[in-house]
Amino acid sequence: MNSDVRGESVVYGVIKNIADQDVAQHRHHNRRAMEQLPSAESWSLVNREMFSLPEQQSIDLSLATEVMHFGASYIGVEHEWKYWLEQFEGLLRKMYWVSATVHLETEMSGVHSFVFATNGMGHKPNQSDIQIRCEWVKEAG
């Protein structure tokens, strides 16, 4: 990672949900969950400004996967990573989704990728069957 700011960490990723018969309801519900996050001004590690909220679509997207992107830069977020993950999992617990991937890029420890999965066909709000897997890549040089 090439960074001009010493100690900068970048977190970015995607949450995916497969469209089903209730696609409009799921999209609306997920959008509301992201809108209800605290503002970045509150110093919350996971906040609504870091998400690219999906637009309300008027066309039929029943065959499309809903893709919700997010990203933010921090100073040394790896020192607060436990709390970042807790806040992110709190959001996931409120949403419909089938997978989520978080990438953490740090100057000191390289790139970590966290993959969230759920049992069955997908997560429904307020179910706690979230599983996490971490992969670590240390860039040479």
Share of the chain residues as helix, strand and coil, in percent rounded to the nearest 5: 25, 35, 40
* Segment 16-63, tens digit of pLDDT: 988 777 778 888 899 999 999 999 999 899 999 999 976 665 545 555
- Tens digit of pLDDT for each residue in 87-118? 999 999 999 999 999 999 988 778 899 999 88
pLDDT digits (tens, 9 = 90+) for 65-83: 888 999 999 998 988 999 9
pTM of structure: 0.85
pLDDT at site 23: 79
Residue spans of the domains in the chain: they are 8-137
Question: Tokens in use for 17?
Answer: 């949900």
